[in-house]
Structure 1
Amino acid sequence: MTQKPLVGRDTRVCMSLSARPGNFGSRFHNRLYEACGLDFIYKAFSTTDLVAAIGGIRALSIRGCAISMPFKEAVIPLIDELDPSAAAIDSVNTIVNDDGRLVGHNTDYGAVRLLIADIDPATDFVLRGSGGMAKATAAAFRDAGFGKGTLIARNEKAGRELADLYGYDWTPEPTRSAKILINVTPIGMDGGDLAALPFETSAIEQADIVFDVVQYPAETAFLRLARLAGKRVITGADVAVLQAVEQFVLYTGVRPSETQIADAATFARL
C-alpha cells in the first residue's frame, strides 16, 4: 500500500451535498484514498443555499461533489455542462470541477444497469417515485429492455411526464403488484417499523424481487420484510457502492482494485 500524504495545501478536496448527509460516502472515498495513496480528502455537507454551495465548489477548486436528494435536478442550471450520462436523463449525481468548469455526470444509471443485468427484461415492475433517482432507475430499466412497467407518483405532472418519457404507465397510488417492486422515494429513510412501507405487504408477498434505493438505513423495513418472505433484494447500499466507485474514478483518474473496493464498502458500512 502506498503511503497517503498528510493533508496539506496541495490536498484535493471532494465533497457531497444532500438534504440529509450520511457517513457512507465520506468513509468509502477516504478509505480508498488511503488505500491508493492519494492526496485527497472527502467531506459530506448539507445546505439551505444551493446556489452559494455550487459557487463555492467553483471558487474553492473543490475537485468533485456527489449530489443527492433533493438537488439532482436543481443543480443543472448552476453548472456549465452536462455529460451525456446526465443529459440523457436530466439528473446529476456527480459534479467534476475541471479548472473551474463544472461538469455534471450521473453514475446512478450505470449502477442500476449493473444490478439488474441478470433479470429477465420480460419481467414486469412497479416503480414508486418521480425525482432524479427515479429518472435514472426508469431509464436503466427502459434501456435494459424492460417493456412492462408502472410508475407511481402522487405528483401527476411529474409522474405522467416521467412515465411518458420512458414509455410506461402512471398511477398516483399503488394499484397492483408486480414481480419487481422498486422504491425510489424517501419512504423508510427514517428506519422504523412496517408503517414505513412504500408498498402493501400483500404486494411484497406476490413479488419476486424488491429493490429499495434508500441508503440510510441500509436495511429498511421494506427490505427486512422482503427478506423474511424469501424475496431477492437489491439495496440502496448496493447502488451506493457501484455509483461511488465511478465517482472516485471521475475525481481521481484511478480505478481501485476489487479488493480495495470490497474493503472500502465494508469499512463504510461499519
Structure 2
Amino acid sequence: MFHTPTRETLLCMSLAARPGNFGVRFHNHLYEQLGLNFYYKAFAPTDLPAAIAGMRSLGIRGCGVSMPFKEACIALVDEMDASAAAIESINTIVNTDGHLKAYNTDYIAVAQLVDSHKVPRTRFALRGSGGMAKAVACAMRDAGFTDGLIVARNEQAGRALARTCGFEWQPELGAERVPLLVNVTPLGMIGDQAEVLAFDVDAIEAADTAFDVVASPARTPFILHAEKHGKQVITGDQVAAIQALEQFILYTGVTPSEEQYQAAAAFARAI
C-alpha cells in the first residue's frame, strides 16, 4: 500500500504515446520501500510543449521520456547532460528549481546489457532510426561494435544515424543474415502492432542473439520466436529496469541496494 500523498510530496512522471506500468510500479515500489515522499504517474500528452511547461511551473521533479518524444523534447529543456547531447536524444529530465536538465539513461542500460550478456562484437542489424535507436546505436558503437547495419524505411533518418555511428544503412534487411538482431521500433509492442515480428523468421533463426527494447510486453513475438529456437535474448524490461534505476537516482539522490533494486524490478515485471 503506497503512502498517501501530501502537499509536500514530490511528483515524478513519464511521457509516452503508449504509457506502460513498468516505470510506475518500479519507482513507486522503491519510494515506498525507502520511505521517500515521492509519487510517480504516467501520462500520454497531447501537447508536449505544454506538458514540459507544466513540469517546470508545477515543480514536478523528474520526467521519463519515451517514444516518440525523445528528440522533440530537446528544444524544451534548459540544459543537456553529455549523455543526451552526444546522441541528441532525451529520456530523462530533472527539474531543479525550474531549471530543466536532460539526460539519457537508455545509453547506460544498453552498454551494461551487451557487456553483461557477453555479446560478441560481431555484425548486427538494428531496426529503427528514432531517438531510442540513436541511444542504442551509439551505445553499441562505443562498446566496440564496428560492423553495423541500420535498417530503417526513413532514408534520411536512417542514413544520418548510420553516418553518425560509422555503420551502413538499408531500408530493409532483405536476405542478409547477421549474428545479432536489435529491434528499436514499436513492432511487437502492446497495441495495433502487438503480433508483428520485428524481423522475419529466417533472419531470427539464423541469428545468435535477439535484442528487443520493447518492454511491454517483455516477451514480444520476436523474443518468443528467438527463445523457441534457443537464441540468447536481451529483453526490453531489462533495459527498462536499468535505465529506471539511473532515473531514480537522478530524481531522489538515493541509491538503492542491489536487493532493493532487484525487488523493485521483479515487482514492476509482475504485471
TM range (shorter): over 0.9
Q: Identity across aligned pairs (percent)?
A: 59
The equivalent of 1:128 in structure 2 is: 127
Match of 1:81 among 72, 79, 89: 79
The equivalent of 2:90 in structure 1 is: 92
SS at 1:245 equivalent: helix
Structure 1 gaps of 5+ residues are none
The equivalent of 2:214 in structure 1 is: 214
CA contact (8 A) 2:181 2:211 kept: yes
SS at 2:185 equivalent: coil
The equivalent of 1:34 in structure 2 is: 32
- Measure, in 1, the Cα distance between the counterparts of 2:193 and 2:171: 24
- Measure, in 1, the Cα distance between the counterparts of 2:195 and 2:56: 42
CA contact (8 A) 1:111 1:242 kept: yes
Q: How does 1:249-264 map to 2 (within 5 A)?
A: 249-264=249-264
The CA deviation string for residues 150-190 of structure 1, in whole angstroms up to 9 with x for no partner, is 00000000000000000000000112121100000000113
CA contact (8 A) 1:4 1:38 kept: no
1:218: how far off?
A: 1.2
2:204 alignment partner AA: I
Match of 1:24 among 3, 22, 25: 22
The equivalent of 1:164 in structure 2 is: 163
2:125 alignment partner AA: V
1:122: how far off?
A: 3.3
1:123: how far off?
A: 1.1
CA contact (8 A) 1:193 1:221 kept: no
The 1:151–1:75 alpha-carbon spacing in structure 2 relative to 1, beyond 3 Å, is: same
Normalised by the length of structure 2, the TM-score is 0.95
The equivalent of 1:223 in structure 2 is: 223
The 1:100–1:150 alpha-carbon spacing in structure 2 relative to 1, beyond 3 Å, is: same
1:34: how far off?
A: 0.6
Structure 2 gaps of 5+ residues are none
The equivalent of 1:108 in structure 2 is: 106
2:149 alignment partner AA: T
RMSD: 1.7
The equivalent of 2:152 in structure 1 is: 153
- Measure, in 1, the Cα distance between the counterparts of 2:206 and 2:163: 26
Match of 1:56 among 37, 44, 54: 54
The 1:259–1:196 alpha-carbon spacing in structure 2 relative to 1, beyond 3 Å, is: same
1:195: how far off?
A: 5.4
Normalised by the length of structure 1, the TM-score is 0.96
- Measure, in 1, the Cα distance between the counterparts of 2:236 and 2:46: 25
The equivalent of 1:242 in structure 2 is: 242
The 1:244–1:194 alpha-carbon spacing in structure 2 relative to 1, beyond 3 Å, is: closer
1:257 alignment partner AA: S
1:231 alignment partner AA: K
SS at 2:223 equivalent: helix
The 1:246–1:206 alpha-carbon spacing in structure 2 relative to 1, beyond 3 Å, is: same
